[in-house]
């Protein structure tokens, strides 16, 4: 679950597998199975913030292999994954 807390230009949430681009604004809330759907934000101008809620079960998947993305070059740069 993601709750958007900021106002900016751009930064749409992209859900890859279903092919959906969501133009979320301040106060919008979206729920989706993040371990099953690849997702990212488009570029934006300004400041962007959100609160991301997850379950303990799913954080174990993230800790184990970054939900299958541990070898992605962009993720390595963001989180310094090895």
Greater model confidence, 59 or 6: 6
Cα(69)–Cα(79) distance, integer angstroms: 11
The total domain count for the chain is: 1
Q: What is residue 17's predicted lDDT score, i.e. its pLDDT?
A: 94
Tell me the residue range of the domain where 45 lies. 2-79
Nearest to 40 by CA among 63, 61, 17: 17
Which residues lie across from 40 on neighbouring strands? 14
- The tokens 């184990």 sit on which residue? 64
pLDDT tens-digit profile of 37-73? 888 999 999 988 888 887 777 677 777 877 777 777 7
Asked if 48 contacts 12 with a C-beta cutoff of 8 angstroms, the reply is no
Q: Reply yes or no on whether the pLDDT at 76 is more than 70.
A: no
Tokens of 33: 């199975």
pTM of structure: 0.68
């Amino acid at each position: 679950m993601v709750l958007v807390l900021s106002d900016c230009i751009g930064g749409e949430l992209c859900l890859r597998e279903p092919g959906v681009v969501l133009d979320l604004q301040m106060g919008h809330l979206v729920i989706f199975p993040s371990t099953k759907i690849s997702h990212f934000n488009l570029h934006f101008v300004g400041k962007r913030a959100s609160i991301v809620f997850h379950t303990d079960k799913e954080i174990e998947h993230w800790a184990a292999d970054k939900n299958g993305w541990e070898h992605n070059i962009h993720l390595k740069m963001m989180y310094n994954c090895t």
